[in-house]
Structure 1
Amino acid sequence: MPMKRIVLSLVGFQYNTLNPEAQEIRLLSILPSRNRKDPVQCFLRTVSLKDRPKFEALSYVWGKSHTTERIILEGSEFSVTPNLAKALYALRRAYWKRTMWIDYICINQSDIDEKNNQVPLMGSIYGRAHRVVSWLGDASPEVELAVTRVERYVDKRMIKGSLYWWWLGAKSCFSTRAAVEKFIAEIGAMKGVFQVTNMPYWSRTWTYQECLLAKHEPTFVCGHLTFKASRMLNTVYSMDAGNLDEKNLPRGLYERCLQAEAGLIEHYNTLTLNTLSQILLSLDPENKRSMGTLLFHLQNTSQRQCENPRDRIYALYGLCPDIKKVYPQDYNKTFERIMLETTIWTINNEGGAVPFATLAFPIHNVSKRSLPTWVPDYHGADSPFFMPYFQTSFIDHRDKKNREDRRTSSHICQDRLILHLWAYRAGTCKVVVQLGLNLCQTATQIMEVLGNMEELSSECWNYLMLQESFIQTCKIFHHPIDRHSTNEILEAIQSIANNGHSLETEPSLQLSNRGLLEYVVAELLKGVGGMRILFVYNADACAFGISPGIGEDQDILVVPHESCRPLILRSHPIADGDSDQVHYKVVGQAIAGDHAKPTPFTDGVKQQPPEEFLVV
């Protein structure tokens, strides 16, 4: 056995050195206490994963690292974040010790070399843990209602928490007041589900991997409550407090119910429902088995956060072990180098140009980066442009055999500088207008574009066809507008331009049909505000494109062979001694064409053979 050397951490606690070859890790033993106010006391022991030790792994959010609380670690004071301190107090048992792996304590956070050895083991740690425990934070009365409702109606258990619902259900059959109390409790339970959905735990990148790596669904702990998240979150689809108007309630009780319902609205929105769907997807064992590619996980975590930007990628390595063999985790690397290596990996191993349909490019991609322009942005946080872009296909993939033809597969050259991009040339770009962010200004600019449409018309494409194409392209930014005709939309845009009228809040049921239409159109205008409108044309057809403030005259629009969403390329002079080769830069992405039905423009692009573009 090699001699253990002692390493002093930044907080003053002395760590021993771990042996990477033996896959050594530290496990934390939390000593029991019957008094919840007693300081948490614990100690560490070193074990080898090869010996298959039995332990639990904690999944949690670090929280604010600039404020700390103290615990006692092997007789010495040790600083932890407030959220971890709460978790330790909640998880400590009364009569026997608890053995857990907790990254903040079990890894010497001040030793980069140790982190580089320990972080790659996290896939094995969470995958081999006897149980993964997910700490969500403090519980609210509404969360308790949601948990106990599952115990009563899903698990059908006769325990302390569920007795309230048993009693309420029986009493509501004979008492109007009890029926109202049950109605309000159901509303409270629904609030609790949404509160859990919006907890910080689901917004972090590391917790995504930790949930997926667990052998079984993690045990979730919220305050003093313990539950399975999937069982609780799925109940939101079956919750039904009933119709108030059918209850014939006295006025006072009716108003109480209305007030309870009004409090639910702030929790019930599209963002919450999307988050709920993503959470359930990550907890479903059937879906876990199909989640294979790094790009898939990068897309799923695009709106999650991490303190160290390197963890935007490294926090997913446990789910994608193949990339670790080529580009091991190394916190000494710059984030730009990690972005470059990750792009090379995904292009060469996960479908050629597919990353360009999955990840956004920064707006100033050409002028303000030292990286090749074919490296997308890995900082996360989807923009108002990228979500519609990601959800919209320009053309369908050709047959599978053609897609997998290695002769037309995009790849990086050996010097890692040039991307050989196989793509269909769609057309040349012309800037039409840069839209402003003010709602009235955007409406006015759109009406001016439509008024000057004859300047773009020709024998091949007339004024009405161009007008229809423009509106259809804009519709992708707000799908509810699909049920309205082009003329109705134009009238509403004109009204907003003339009157400066906009609805800042949700439309009420008392609004006229015209008022509701203007609200929907206003939402569309908010979506396209700040975007740049492009006119894309070739010898046979034309279309309008929308980009996030990028694209210039004479840029070209292409559709990568392995993808189905357009890129904007710009020719770039490069001194390589070969005058016959034209090189390009990736300017960014664009939405183009009418997505509701095939057009001469999209059909024409499909008929072309793919070309090879050299991108620097």
Structure 2
Amino acid sequence: MSFSSPYQYGALGRIDSIRLLKLKPASSSDATLSCELSESNLSAAPEYEALSYVWGKDEYPQRIELPSGCLKITESLASALRTLRSSDKPRQLWVDAVCINQCDHVEKAHQVSQMAKIYGKAARVLAWLGESSDATLNMTLALDLAQKAKDIGLLSPRGENRETIRKWAYGDSEKLEWMMGVMDAVDDAGFFWLYQSSWFTRMWIVQEALLAKRLILHFGTVRLDWEDFEKVMILIQAVNAAIRLPMTSREVFVKYAWALIEVRDHWLQSDSHPVAADHITYYMHQLRRRSCKDDRDRVFALLGLLPESTGLNLHPDYSKTVAEVYTELAAAQLRLGNIGVLYDAGLWKRKYFQPPESRGEGTSQPSWSDYLPTWAPDYRQDTSFMELAEMRFGDYFGADPRVPPNIDLLKESYRLTTQATLIDIVTCVQPALFVHHEGLRANDALMLLTCRRFCMDLKRTFDSQFVNRPCPSHEDSTKVFAYSLVGGGN
């Protein structure tokens, strides 16, 4: 058969079946990408490596040649395969764009539901960060920085890394001078080229990175183990927390690369025990800035991180709209008692939605298929830093934890019914301005006095609401006030 004929996928035989791509060797990087596709079963523990990469534009100018036809692929994938191809032996890979029939939505949904197992069972996950082009990475300098982080004792994203490095350098002029020159060393190593890669901006790579037994970063022909990359990142973060230094692409560092390190650490810490279903709220908020071509994947890409024991009971289904997927996720969390979803869905985060029947002709406003009920968070929209700072993931919703929510979602899929006790009507909202004052610290006497003054003013406002009338809950108003301040604690 001519290589110009499109490859025809056959149906997968078993529920745990996957396809594997055998990348044949070539002595030249310009040689044709010659491959074979075969079916295997995850239960048989086949030996393979999984590729993690950015698809890039919806353009398919390159192709791989198979015995019975060809498959068109993106420039990004072709570049990765050419670089990863061996010169003397075949390489067995799992590559989503090729190993899944992208035109079969049923197969795609089933394979996506297995991706946690696919990446978890791979011998290695190869993260393709792109071609190096003119960018250069000095591996010797990069590994020296990684070793320095280990020597200092910066072993984890958690903990007091800032204080650790301050104590390490305190009173030692040579150490302090070295610390002051860290960012120059990072730039000399070309390390910033790694964390600037668009690979870190994608949603799907989160699951792929977290589940990997061994994760290897490939930047052109240069490769770096994740453990060494992480150590350098921890060093950069610790130094910049201790002494603010100029950094190349600081926003990208914080928003994408460092966020992935924190989330991966969070995942590893919860790996030894069942993860609560509401932890998906943590992942959704930490990662919602990441990009994906299909907004449904903002949920589907993270489902594999939650064990079945959480009872979330959601599965990838590409026949559903984005709104249906987000609504089902909110409903599932509410049924499990995570009423923090109601805070996440706050209407102040919404863009105004005009019902379809009231739209003028020729407008491009959303249809009902885009509509989300008021109690379902819209993960297509970013959350500001201040909103995130006010949250306490998992238990940040200030309801009394001793009162289980009474929620009914059975009558209508888009209507939520619950019960509540009316305490009072909100008449005013007063911001605690002192919290945002840069000159104040928690151990300052001025902070104590400011907090005291604020609480006294708030108490006077509170008392004014109950002049000549009892507290609606029939409790002592002072106790109610104190209970409200501590958010239901003791």
Cα distance between partner residues in 1 of 2:485 and 2:422: 8
Q: Secondary structure at the match of 1:315?
A: helix
2:217 to 207, 216, 220: 220
Q: What CA deviation, in whole Å up to 9, does each residue of 1:90-135 have, x standing for no partner?
A: 1101110000110000011111121122111111111111211111
Cα distance between partner residues in 2 of 1:61 and 1:339: 24
Shift of 1:137: 0.9
1:196 to 181, 194, 197: 194
Q: What CA deviation, in whole Å up to 9, does each residue of 1:19-77 have, x standing for no partner?
A: 243x2111000000111111211110011112121111111111111353222233633
1:382 aligns with 2:364: no
8 Å CA contact retained: 2:109, 2:318: yes
Residue correspondence of structure 1 range 8-19 to structure 2 within 5 A: 12-19=6-13
Q: Secondary structure at the match of 1:14?
A: coil
Q: Secondary structure at the match of 1:316?
A: helix
Cα distance between partner residues in 2 of 1:421 and 1:43: 59
Cα distance between partner residues in 2 of 1:360 and 1:90: 47
Say if 1:275 and 1:607 are closer, same or farther in 2 by CA, change over 3 A. closer
Shift of 1:391: 6.7
Cα distance between partner residues in 1 of 2:374 and 2:55: 34
Q: Which runs of 5+ in 2 are unaligned?
A: 149-177, 240-244, 356-367, 442-457, 466-477
Hey, what does 1:511 align to over in structure 2? none
Q: Secondary structure at the match of 1:95?
A: coil
Cα distance between partner residues in 2 of 1:328 and 1:392: 23
Cα distance between partner residues in 1 of 2:487 and 2:285: 30
Shift of 1:427: 4.0
1:74 aligns with 2:67: yes
The AA in structure 1 aligned to 2:408 is I
Cα distance between partner residues in 1 of 2:35 and 2:394: 55
Q: Secondary structure at the match of 1:390?
A: coil
Cα distance between partner residues in 2 of 1:330 and 1:111: 12
Hey, what does 2:328 align to over in structure 1? 341
8 Å CA contact retained: 1:30, 1:40: yes
1:59 to 52, 55, 65: 52
Hey, what does 1:209 align to over in structure 2? 207
2:303 to 317, 325, 343: 317
Residue correspondence of structure 1 range 425-504 to structure 2 within 5 A: 425=423, 427-429=425-427, 470=431, 472-473=432-433, 480=438, 482=440
Q: Secondary structure at the match of 1:45?
A: strand
8 Å CA contact retained: 2:9, 2:101: yes
1:117 aligns with 2:118: no
Shift of 1:608: 11
Shift of 1:183: 8.8
Say if 1:140 and 1:151 are closer, same or farther in 2 by CA, change over 3 A. farther
Residue correspondence of structure 1 range 20-31 to structure 2 within 5 A: 20-21=14-15, 23-31=16-24
Hey, what does 1:281 align to over in structure 2? 262
8 Å CA contact retained: 1:64, 1:81: yes
Q: Secondary structure at the match of 2:391?
A: helix
The AA in structure 2 aligned to 1:328 is H
Cα distance between partner residues in 2 of 1:325 and 1:355: 14
8 Å CA contact retained: 1:427, 1:536: no
Hey, what does 2:473 align to over in structure 1? none
Cα distance between partner residues in 2 of 1:219 and 1:103: 18
Q: What CA deviation, in whole Å up to 9, does each residue of 1:360-418 have, x standing for no partner?
A: 544246765744321121214223663344379999968xxx61443xx2533422422
Say if 1:392 and 1:332 are closer, same or farther in 2 by CA, change over 3 A. closer
Cα distance between partner residues in 1 of 2:87 and 2:103: 32
Q: What CA deviation, in whole Å up to 9, does each residue of 1:254-300 have, x standing for no partner?
A: xxxxxxxxxx9462535523544322224447435265532222122
Cα distance between partner residues in 2 of 1:607 and 1:38: 67
Say if 1:420 and 1:36 are closer, same or farther in 2 by CA, change over 3 A. same
Say if 1:106 and 1:94 are closer, same or farther in 2 by CA, change over 3 A. same
Question: Which has more strand, going by share of residues?
Answer: 1
8 Å CA contact retained: 2:323, 2:372: yes
Tell me how many residue pairs correspond in the alignment. 400
1:603 to 472, 482, 489: 482
Cα distance between partner residues in 1 of 2:73 and 2:409: 47
Cα distance between partner residues in 1 of 2:315 and 2:233: 41
Q: Secondary structure at the match of 1:53?
A: coil
Return the TM-score normalized by structure 2.
0.69
Return the TM-score normalized by structure 1.
0.56
Aligned-residue RMSD, C-alpha: 4.1
Hey, what does 1:329 align to over in structure 2? 316
Hey, what does 2:185 align to over in structure 1? 186
Cα distance between partner residues in 1 of 2:96 and 2:89: 22
1:86 aligns with 2:79: yes
Q: What CA deviation, in whole Å up to 9, does each residue of 1:452-483 have, x standing for no partner?
A: xxxxxxxxxxxxxxxxx65x34x65x563647
Cα distance between partner residues in 1 of 2:13 and 2:312: 19
Q: Secondary structure at the match of 1:330?
A: coil
Q: Percent identity?
A: 25
